[in-house]
Amino acid sequence: MVLLTAVLYKIAFITEQSPANKHSWSGTNHYVFEILKKKGHDVTALGPLTPRFLQIVFGILNQISLRLFKTRFDYRHSTVYSKAFGRLFTKKLKSIDHDIVVVCGGSEYAAYIKTSKPLFLIVDRVIAGTINYHSILSGLWKFSEEQSIHTDKTAMHKARAVFFSSPWAAEHAKKYYNLKSGQSVILPFGANLDSIVSRDLALKQKDFDECKLLLVGTYWKNKGADIAFNALKILLQKGVNVSLTIVGCIPPEPIQHEKLTILPFIDKNTSTGQDELAKLFLSHHLFILPTRFDCTPIVFCESSSFGVPILTSDTGGVRGHIKEGINGFTIPYEDKGDLFAEKIESIIKSPDDYTKLCISARNLYEQELNWEHWEKEFTSNVKRLIE
């Protein structure tokens, strides 16, 4: 009998914040770090590490620029700031034994690192493809835009491979940076949860007398909460018994509606918060997120783990974690609620198809949208590229 031995590496793990910080990059840094350790890799965290003086000075300059000229300075990806990161992490790398370097969540950390070891980059977007898409990369000074793109491109070409969370991001890397196909790997993220409910509990049949919609997000407009509310009102006007729970999004003006519940922010990085969110997912039928811009909504992985199908706007990198008709549906970006309402109504009218959709959503989580799968594919690709 031949015993297969797992491929393990000594990994220098680079993030700006500590990987123990679950708030950093929506917790993705933390869960990547933890799954690599869990699977037996020898992982050394080089963060937290920041060019503090530059951060303060550039942060002030950016605020002045915004107030006086309404123009943004993306200092994080500026040449000076990125080179400062490069010096800090290069020095740290010299002090540890490692086989590979893994940079998680920021091309600005990787662009000017000096290392002879293979470097791997984990990102969810390409700056050249998101200029004037995301608010942080909108309204930039021309010099800032050029430097940000240069930093991003430099980091990706330096990497042995770039792991993109969606085809959208990978396609941008090919289009704007001419990144070679061998350097680009599409690998969706997992659910940023400490514990996953059992399959039986996730797929337990729910009372369908009232279809309960759930939206979890941070910013009302950015996450399309107004569109979700419009869809609710359209459905109620049609006589469909439906309700909407919105978590974490505060409307710009107070809204009161008997079928709308707005809950304050729930910190899923605490056990209490994760328990509260689990109860909400388990008691709701559909997850709705008419997002205005998104690279990787991790909440899609989490919703799939609860067997809750998703309806979302077709934008950015959402298709990296949505498979049409498997764990949800994408709705045209321009829709203001009518098509969302139409799709919800059609789902409600076909309870057997809804049940199948819940099952296939959970199946997709178990097969792909989990960190165990992510680590297996990540390690396999690293082995392919360096051995």
Same domain, 363 and 376: no
In this predicted structure, what is the pLDDT of residue 5? Answer: 57
Q: Per the domain annotation, does 4 fall within a domain? A: no
Number of domains in the chain: 2
Same domain, 281 and 257: yes
Which one, of 309, 340, 159, 367, lies nearest residue 235 by Cα?
Answer: 340
Q: Per the domain annotation, does 21 fall within a domain? A: yes
CA 27 to each of CA 24, 212, 341: distance values in angstroms, whole numbers, following the listed order: 5, 27, 32
Same domain, 110 and 236: no
Which one, of 312, 310, 323, 286, lies nearest residue 206 by Cα?
Answer: 286
Q: Per the domain annotation, does 313 fall within a domain? A: yes
**Other CB atoms closer than 10 Å to residue 36's CB: what's the count?**
24
Same domain, 277 and 315: yes
In this predicted structure, what is the pLDDT of residue 2? Answer: 43
Mean pLDDT of the chain: 95
Q: Per the domain annotation, does 240 fall within a domain? A: yes
CATH number of the CATH domain containing 72: 3.40.50.2000
In this predicted structure, what is the pLDDT of residue 114? Answer: 97
Same domain, 244 and 325: yes
Same domain, 150 and 299: no
Q: Per the domain annotation, does 1 fall within a domain? A: no
Q: Cβ distance 59 to 72 under 8 Å?
A: no
Structural domain of residue 363, as residue ranges?
199-367
Q: Per the domain annotation, does 2 fall within a domain? A: no
In tens, the pLDDT along 161-196 reads 999 999 999 999 999 999 988 899 999 999 999 999
- Alpha-carbon dihedral of residues 361, 367, 373, 374, nearest 10 degrees? -40
Same domain, 176 and 218: no
Same domain, 266 and 328: yes
Q: Per the domain annotation, does 174 fall within a domain? A: yes
In this predicted structure, what is the pLDDT of residue 228? Answer: 98
Q: Cβ distance 159 to 119 under 8 Å?
A: yes
The mean per-residue pLDDT over the stretch 270-279 comes to 92
| Residue 63 or 6, more confident | 63
Which two tokens mark 187? 């690998």
In this predicted structure, what is the pLDDT of residue 270? Answer: 86
In tens, the pLDDT along 340-377 reads 999 999 999 999 999 999 999 999 999 999 999 999 99
- The model's pTM: 0.95
Q: Per the domain annotation, does 44 fall within a domain? A: yes
**Other CB atoms closer than 10 Å to residue 82's CB: what's the count?**
27
The DSSP line for 100-165 is: EEEEES-HHHHTT---SS-EEEEES--HHHHTTTSGGGSSB-HHHHHHHHHHHHHHHHHSSEEEES
Same domain, 179 and 311: no
Q: Is 238 strand, coil or helix?
A: coil
In tens, the pLDDT along 137-161 reads 999 999 999 999 999 999 999 999 9
Amino acid at site 185? V
Same domain, 205 and 57: no
In tens, the pLDDT along 56-100 reads 999 999 999 999 999 999 999 999 999 999 999 999 999 999 999
Which two tokens mark 332? 């045209």
Give the model's confidence band at 267: pLDDT under 50 very low, under 70 low, under 90 confident, else very high: confident
Same domain, 180 and 252: no
Same domain, 230 and 145: no
Amino acid at site 328? G
The mean per-residue pLDDT over the stretch 25-46 comes to 97
Give residues with Cβ within 8 angstroms of 88, minimum separation 6: 49, 50, 51
Evaluate if residue 4 carries a pLDDT over 80: no
